[in-house]
Structure 1
Amino acid sequence: MSYAFDGAGSPQAPLRGSATGPLAHLAQWIMLTAGWRRLLVAAAAGAVGALAMPPFGALPALVVSLSIAVWLIDGAATGRRGNRGAVLACAVIGWAWGFGYLTAGLWWLGSAFLVEADEFLWALPLGVIGLPAVLALFYAAGFALARLLWSPGLSRIAALAIGLSACEWLRGHLFTGFPWNTLGMALGQNLWLMQSASAIGLYGLTLLAVLIGAAPATLATGETARGRYGPALVACAGLAVMTFIGASRLPTIPTATVPGVRLRLVQPNLNQDAKFRPENRADIIDWYIGLSDRAAAPDRSGIADVTHLIWPESAFPFLIQRDPESLARIAAAFPAGRQLITGAARAEEPLPNERPRFFNSILTISSGPKLGDIYDKVHLVPFGEYLPGPLDAALRAVGLRQFVSIPGGFTPGSRSGQRLLDVTGLPPVVATICYEAIFPGEILPGHAPDGPAPVPGLILNLTNDAWFGDTPGPRQHFAQARLRAVEEGLPLVRDANTGISAVVDPYGRITASLPVGVEGILDADLPVRLPGRTVYAVLRDLPFAGMLAGLGLIALLVRRRIA
């Protein structure tokens, strides 16, 4: 049985002729829960929603999760408490929902605390529980905003979509941003559905994902047959339209490749253990060279078959730039004309009275050895690669440090100087390291110091996900990087220490890959970029902002009419 709602959207008397049956009774029970039971239901609903994220991709789980969210907001307050009390109650519900969603989706972060357990095990609860607890505040704000726009009927679905997509955008931008497992990834991991990202980006997908996922809530609360079934049917139709558009956008033939380019991605599958230490540099170099020179097939001869060799982030536990012997050994192993692109830490000579500055970088090395262009990571991982400014001195005073053992932590590259990497034989390369590839709209340089930036030809993502083992983490990371290819209309070349390494064409199609936990090499041609720029590459989040504003106007007009 479902309830009528007052002008503030609070449940009042049961409606005659409204939905009946087990689903309606479940919705009624959820609406009437209170206290710790309400928070437990919200957290459980959020946790179920995490099953819609990679690698599971269970879209129905998001429908269950968001439908329960609608019913919880429906019953968040009675008329006696007024709208202010309802907004506060919804903020608490939103925090519990977000905490469940993030804890279930990010539990694998705990693996990083076990790599050096003697030093970091004590902090494991901070990563597994503390981080979701803090990030859940964004969902508290999203649910509160939804309640402010809440009205009976279909418009409350729009209100939830506005609140959650706005809070996801904020989560991806404020305090350095952390757009991991943004709700839009429920659609952004499917090859057909992800094509819409070429126009509206990840946050546009998020808005649609909430609208589609929350619409079936009316099956249990609609006052009429039209009110019950209409929203769910519209959601199914919307999903079908997205599928049709995506399938139509995909070409029926493989993407053409760049002439004269043959890539070899090396996935060493090196653990972050005692063997990966500076004193073992000779063995590590031998390992990389030996793996790089493997024959990919009985009729192939190794490095001589490729033009560009790619090694992952943090390939060496020492400063390769300051090790002429190691550089010479690497250069001697390559035939003339071959290029090595590798992740490596590098240091700049300090000025007087300054400490050395260390960078997480991508280096290009050719025979000679000759160092070519360099990219320094701009968007560093808080607590992983550096300690945030306000906490730095205090934490170091008690003997704490970031995960990566670099004195003082890494220094970010200049954001204003971020540019394309110049690699001989390749089109201009958009360089990203590790989780830089999860930030939509931020990976391309806006301009070059001496004029417009050259037209990029590919996204290169070097990463080291060994910290997280064989968990959903590396798979989620790859799925998000893959979506950047569709948004930007550029192929993605991704080399990961422990996987997933892959080459992806500008439509998001995987042309070659190595799974998690496998040692090996991956030879592949480089797909060409799309001939023009995607809508998202030109307008960025403007389409999302327009969608958000349009829904907001509708929600406000409906609420005003009812009031």
Structure 2
Amino acid sequence: MPRLAARVARLTGWRRLGLAWVAGALGALAMPPYGWLPALAVALTVAVWLIDGAAADRSAARRAWPCFLVGWAWGFGYLTAGLWWLGSAFLVEADEFLWALPLGVIGLPFGLGLFYGAGFSAAGLLWSRGPARIAALAFGIGGAEWLRGHLFTGFPWNALGLALGQNLWLMQIAAAIGLYGLTVLAVLVCAAPATLATGRVPRERYGPSAAAAILLAALALYGAERLGPADLSVTGVRLRLVQPNLPQDAKFRPENREDIVDRYIELSRRPPASGEPEPTHIVWPESAFPFLIQRDPDALARIAAGLAPGQHLVTGAARADAALPGERPRIFNAVMVIGADGTITDTYDKVHLVPFGEYLPGPLDGILRALGLRQFVAIPGGFSAGSLAGQRILAVPGLPPVAATICYEAIFPGAILPAGRAAPSADPPGLILNVTNDAWFGDTPGPRQHLAQARLRAVEEGLPLVRDANTGISAVIDPHGRITARTPLDTETWLDADLPARIVGGTLYGQFGDAAFVLMLAACLGGAVVGRRPA
């Protein structure tokens, strides 16, 4: 192994960048649906050896650029292998969007790889020959992943912490440190084997791997202890999640409006299994209708006729505001609460829209539309974002207060209850609701990765998660991350389930957000500086 590490460190030019790309791509096997943690250990071990070569015999200022290139190539490979399924969205309306497929499948990972380049560069400035360089890499990647999740609207998809965050025992620590804290731990654990080939004395050679093994065991023991018995359910609540499995190319065609509403109503009215109670609440997925339900009293009346007395419907739907004369109304991607009398009693407007999917970013909007281009969702002018200042809990009769999220809003740690952290409510939310439409991505890793990331929000916040997806995967998840009920992918079906109760008192992450992550970053920075020896 020492000979292999030395050969990797001696690589230069395209050979160094090519191996970095391959190593990063291998690391994507640690993400759902594969969950092979050793793949990330191999990927980060190779990354350490490549930085050893990039930083060798160079001053701190001179090593920043070669380390940046290694990190960029590593991140480019990791994200290309982990996000290739995005190409499926470009094939839904291939006549209009096929030309842009390389931009999504190659261009996005190419650009996002710059964050990893910055992280590796920061690590290179702190690099040393001893075990402290593992802490330097954890500091660099941890900071880079946080930036990737926040800058330019943010895109924290498949942050490295998800390698630990998909295991039921290991994910429990997220209740204190969140996804980004898990990312720091994942780097510390998976990069530690690099010293087995480079340590100068037994303590340096074996110490980091032994510490990583102890850390993993401690996390597993803590997780097993925290799980305990199954969570209680909320009395008097029985959910039905409707999964219509509508193809994306048919979902938004107005001529299908009658058939689509009929399918939803028929699935909602099917009798429960023998001996099971009738649903008290029906949930339909994101953008359920190819028309504005709020402006269609006939459709609302049909929906009301399909609800049993006392039942309530919570559904995704496009919503238009009241425009001034001569102005085009703004369209929002919303969640609506509809009572048994057909009245819309509450709404939530999606705050965090998908760039190029739901709208064209401001600086590019005019240029792209002048060229005849549009966002994926065929809404004139694109969706408008709801007000972040006005983001609030959704009131659904018979349910605890609902923290509503739409589609990929559920992948953002710390953003489920932004206002609640600043001013704790006397009536805290009792569940996270996530309505989504993953039909764009077919039977690929995308829907499975989406579910895994949403699941981690339940653990972070100490709240059950109710997830309804058009094509799947729909699921009910308790506040410890246990999936109590789920549907298969690409299946027309429905799911009846009880609502798990929230964790009384919440979680440390729910109260303090990324505070623990910041302390972990500071500890890694301190460890890298204190333990530093010249590279």
TM-score (norm 1): 0.93
CA contact (8 A) 2:285 2:437 kept: yes
Q: Which residue of 2 aligns with 1:220?
A: 197
CA contact (8 A) 1:420 1:445 kept: no
| Residues 454 and 354 (structure 1), Cα distance of their counterparts in 2 relative to 1, 3 Å cut | farther
Q: Give the one of 390, 393, 407 matched to 2:363.
A: 390
Q: Which residue of 2 aligns with 1:73?
A: 51
Mapped pair 1:420 → 2:393: yes
Q: Which residue of 1 aligns with 2:95?
A: 118
Aligned partner letter, 1:167: A
Q: Which residue of 2 aligns with 1:278?
A: 254
Any unmatched runs of 5+ in structure 1? Answer: 1-22
Structure 2 distance, partners of 1:265, 1:398, is 41
Q: Which residue of 2 aligns with 1:182?
A: 159
Aligned partner letter, 1:138: F
Cα displacement (A) at 1:319? 0.7
CA contact (8 A) 1:445 1:453 kept: no
CA contact (8 A) 1:417 1:449 kept: no
- How much is the aligned-residue C-alpha RMSD, in angstroms? 1.6
Structure 2 distance, partners of 1:174, 1:208, is 22
Aligned partner letter, 1:152: R
Q: Give the one of 197, 201, 211 matched to 1:234.
A: 211
Give the 3-state SS of the residue equivalent to 1:460 in structure 2.
strand
Cα displacement (A) at 1:226? 2.1
Q: Which residue of 1 aligns with 2:284?
A: 311
Q: Which residue of 2 aligns with 1:157?
A: 134
Give the 3-state SS of the residue equivalent to 1:462 in structure 2.
strand
CA contact (8 A) 1:419 1:445 kept: no
CA contact (8 A) 2:71 2:120 kept: yes
Aligned partner letter, 1:296: P
| Higher normalized contact order (CA 8 Å, seq sep 6+, divided by chain length) | 2
Q: Which residue of 1 aligns with 2:266?
A: 290
Q: Which residue of 2 aligns with 1:33?
A: 11
Aligned partner letter, 2:249: D
| Residues 431 and 453 (structure 1), Cα distance of their counterparts in 2 relative to 1, 3 Å cut | farther
Any unmatched runs of 5+ in structure 2? Answer: none
Q: Which residue of 2 aligns with 1:475?
A: 448
Q: Which residue of 2 aligns with 1:351?
A: 324
CA contact (8 A) 1:432 1:460 kept: yes
Structure 2 distance, partners of 1:121, 1:509, is 39
Give the 3-state SS of the residue equivalent to 1:284 in structure 2.
helix
Cα displacement (A) at 1:450? 11
CA contact (8 A) 2:317 2:336 kept: yes
Structure 2 distance, partners of 1:507, 1:341, is 24
CA contact (8 A) 1:447 1:453 kept: no
Aligned residues: 535
Mapped pair 1:454 → 2:432: no
List structure 1 runs of 4+ shifted beyond 6 angstroms. Answer: 448-451
Structure 2 distance, partners of 1:425, 1:449, is 27
Mapped pair 1:50 → 2:23: no
Cα displacement (A) at 1:324? 1.0
The correspondence of residues 500-519 of structure 1 with structure 2, limited to 5 A, is 500-519=473-492
Mapped pair 1:372 → 2:345: yes
Q: Which residue of 2 aligns with 1:269?
A: 245
Cα displacement (A) at 1:281? 0.9
Cα displacement (A) at 1:292? 1.3
Q: Give the one of 130, 143, 151 matched to 1:166.
A: 143
Aligned partner letter, 2:4: L
Cα displacement (A) at 1:532? 0.7
Q: Which residue of 2 aligns with 1:6?
A: none
Give the 3-state SS of the residue equivalent to 1:200 in structure 2.
helix
Structure 1 distance, partners of 2:421, 2:61, is 50
Structure 2 distance, partners of 1:324, 1:408, is 25
CA contact (8 A) 1:502 1:514 kept: yes
Cα displacement (A) at 1:453? 6.3
Cα displacement (A) at 1:115? 0.3
In our comparison, the structure showing a higher alpha carbon Rg is 1
Q: Which residue of 1 aligns with 2:224?
A: 247
Q: Which residue of 1 aligns with 2:233?
A: 257
CA contact (8 A) 2:421 2:510 kept: no
| Residues 222 and 507 (structure 1), Cα distance of their counterparts in 2 relative to 1, 3 Å cut | same
| Residues 462 and 384 (structure 1), Cα distance of their counterparts in 2 relative to 1, 3 Å cut | same
Q: Give the one of 130, 136, 140 matched to 2:107.
A: 130
Cα displacement (A) at 1:28? 1.2
Q: Which residue of 1 aligns with 2:38?
A: 60
Structure 1 distance, partners of 2:142, 2:274, is 52
Aligned partner letter, 1:60: P
Structure 1 distance, partners of 2:497, 2:155, is 31
Give the 3-state SS of the residue equivalent to 2:335 in structure 1.
strand
Q: Give CA-to-partner distance per residue, 1:479-500, whole Å, 9 cap, x none.
A: 0000000000000000000111
Structure 2 distance, partners of 1:317, 1:453, is 38
Aligned partner letter, 1:461: N
| Residues 104 and 555 (structure 1), Cα distance of their counterparts in 2 relative to 1, 3 Å cut | same
Cα displacement (A) at 1:425? 0.2
Q: Which residue of 2 aligns with 1:12?
A: none
CA contact (8 A) 1:97 1:139 kept: yes
Give the 3-state SS of the residue equivalent to 2:249 in structure 1.
coil
Give the 3-state SS of the residue equivalent to 2:531 in structure 1.
helix
Q: Give CA-to-partner distance per residue, 1:39-97, whole Å, 9 cap, x none.
A: 11000000010000111100000100000000000001442x54333210010111000
Cα displacement (A) at 1:447? 5.0
Structure 1 distance, partners of 2:175, 2:492, is 33
Cα displacement (A) at 1:296? 3.3
Give the 3-state SS of the residue equivalent to 1:305 in structure 2.
coil
Give the 3-state SS of the residue equivalent to 1:495 in structure 2.
strand
| Residues 513 and 129 (structure 1), Cα distance of their counterparts in 2 relative to 1, 3 Å cut | same
TM-score (norm 2): 0.98
Aligned partner letter, 1:473: G
Give the 3-state SS of the residue equivalent to 2:54 in structure 1.
coil
Give the 3-state SS of the residue equivalent to 1:76 in structure 2.
helix
Q: Which residue of 2 aligns with 1:535?
A: 508
Aligned partner letter, 1:48: L
Aligned partner letter, 1:96: A
Q: Give the one of 177, 188, 197 matched to 1:211.
A: 188
Q: Give the one of 374, 387, 406 matched to 1:433.
A: 406
CA contact (8 A) 2:421 2:511 kept: no
Structure 2 distance, partners of 1:558, 1:200, is 24
Give the 3-state SS of the residue equivalent to 2:225 in structure 1.
helix
| Residues 261 and 78 (structure 1), Cα distance of their counterparts in 2 relative to 1, 3 Å cut | closer
CA contact (8 A) 2:294 2:319 kept: yes
CA contact (8 A) 2:316 2:435 kept: yes
CA contact (8 A) 2:55 2:124 kept: no
Aligned partner letter, 1:169: W
CA contact (8 A) 1:378 1:412 kept: yes
Q: Give the one of 111, 115, 118 matched to 1:141.
A: 118
Aligned partner letter, 1:459: I
After alignment, is 364-373 or 498-507 more displaced? 364-373
After alignment, is 217-226 or 410-419 more displaced? 217-226
Mapped pair 1:523 → 2:516: no
Q: Give CA-to-partner distance per residue, 1:291-349, whole Å, 9 cap, x none.
A: 1112232556xxx8110000000111111111111111111111111000000001112
